[in-house]
Amino acid sequence: MKILLIGERGQLAWELIRTLMPIGEIYPVDFPQFDISDKTQIRDTVKAVAPDIIINASAYTNVDLAETEKEKAMAINADGPGWLAAACASKKIPLIHYSTDFVFDGTKNTPYVEIDQPNPINIYGLSKWKGEQAIQQETGAALIFRLAWLYSMRGNSFVTKFLEWAKKYETIRVVDDQIGNPTWARFVAEATATVLSQAIATEMLLYDWFTEKKGIYHLTSNGEASRYDWACEIYKNTPNKENLFVKEIKPAKTVDFPAPAQRPAYSSLDCWKVKSSFMISVPSWENQLKKSLFFFNL
């Protein structure tokens, strides 16, 4: 099986490459060799690789910068995925794409389900929602997984940022009025591999299986936390605390940290659909975090 993986250098793609190796031959691509905002390049790459499936793990993820780089965010998160989906449809290639909890406005007080109406409150969320719509308009054989508060022990994530802060500052203030699902990138990669393995194991053509299962699924950890809760749990489970300078983690409010982009106050996602559709076991966010910190410190 040939797997065209877009977004090679991202934290999710790093985990996907290692998790999907037993399943198929992976062809990872990324900017500048591959530009998802270039329609011609998409068509030519799909033709040249002739993959059995395409996984799009690329995204414009700078939430604040997107407010001033709207065109770039839309090109990468909305236009490109739409063109990619069209190329997939023309060749009957199934597609896996990842979206975000930020498609919601955060006004609920119970976890969002897939049929809840998106209402993004920032450009990043809007671009991802438009990407979902574009994909569904162009192909009937796509799985869209909405993720939330994605992190890994590589690159720029909240966990790695907090650990850097903890080495520099005695007191760290973290907001306690933003609620979501901290989700380890490795869990997302493993869940993706589970889904793809199920598709391969059936007697159906891959494209037909994806057509039958098509749609949006929420894929996050189990349970929810504030960013303050998350920070406290990171500190609690970090080995070798003697290397950290931090002595106190204090709760704060979003208004204490003015930013160009508004964040949803509550964006927890309900994962019942993905669990029931693919029999995926979803561990708690605390469990995921403990494992990620353990492997990081081996």
Query: Per-residue pLDDT averaged across 45-57, rounded?
Result: 97
Name the pLDDT band for 297 (thresholds 50, 70, 90).
low
Residue 268 has pLDDT above 80, yes or no: yes
Mean predicted lDDT score pLDDT of the chain? 96
pLDDT level of residue 296 (50, 70, 90 thresholds): confident
Is 202 strand, coil or helix? coil
Span 69-123, pLDDT tens digits: 999 999 999 999 999 999 999 999 999 999 999 999 999 999 999 999 999 999 9
CATH class belonging to 2-151+181-221+269-284: alpha beta
Nearest to 183 by CA among 157, 148, 210: 148
**Six-digit token pair at 23?**
């399943």
Task: Look at phi and psi of residue 187 and say left if phi exceeds 0, alpha if psi is from -120 to 50, else beta.
Answer: alpha
Q: What is the maximum span of the chain, computed from C-alpha positions, in angstroms? A: 58
Give pTM, 2 decimals: 0.97
Catalytic positions, please?
A: 124
With a CB cutoff of 8 Å and minimum separation 6, the contacts of 257 are 175
**pLDDT over 50 (residue 298):** no
Q: Are 179 and 267 in contact (CB under 8 A)?
A: yes
- 189, 98 in Cβ contact below 8 A? no
